[in-house]
Amino acid sequence: DAGVIQSPRHEVTEMGQEVTLRCKPISGHNSLFWYRQTMMRGLELLIYFNNNVPIDDSGMPEDRFSAKMPNASFSTLKIQPSEPRDSAVYFCASSSNSGGYGYTFGSGTRLTVV
């Protein structure tokens, strides 16, 4: 199993540009989560999906952020337009339906907006 795969690993973009982060969950996992990690705020849950349906997006900071999961093997997190304060490491994680198994995390995407 290749684990949760995120791309790109690093992204540097200019303020105002659109950024798209990608995630491939573990096959058979039906829950997918997007987290953001910063020094100031730690790990914040942005949004999560169950069976490709968004369940809770209350953590999405602004309308500039959007996430989709068109099928069980792919999800995107888009920021448009990007701002310097969006600079962070964005993690994707997946799990089976039972939260008791814990989550498997990807290696993250380090986003820098200049």
CB of 63 to another protein, least distance (A): 21
* Number of H-type helices and E-type strands within the chain: 0, 11
Q: How many residues make contact with another protein (CB under 8 A)? A: 21
Report, in this order, helix, strand and coil percent for the chain, each rounded to 5: 5, 55, 40
Contact call for residue 91 and another protein (CB under 8 A): yes
Kindly report whether the peptide bond that precedes residue 54 is cis, defined as omega within 30 degrees of 0. no
Contact call for residue 72 and another protein (CB under 8 A): no
Whole-angstrom Cα distance, residue 95 to residue 15?
A: 33
Among 12, 15, 55, 114, binds another protein (CB under 8 A): 55
Among 1, 63, 71, 100, binds another protein (CB under 8 A): 100
Tokens of 54: 């968004």
Provide the binding-site residues for another protein, judged by CB under 8 A: 4, 33, 35, 42-43, 45, 48, 50, 55-56, 91, 93, 99-100, 102-108
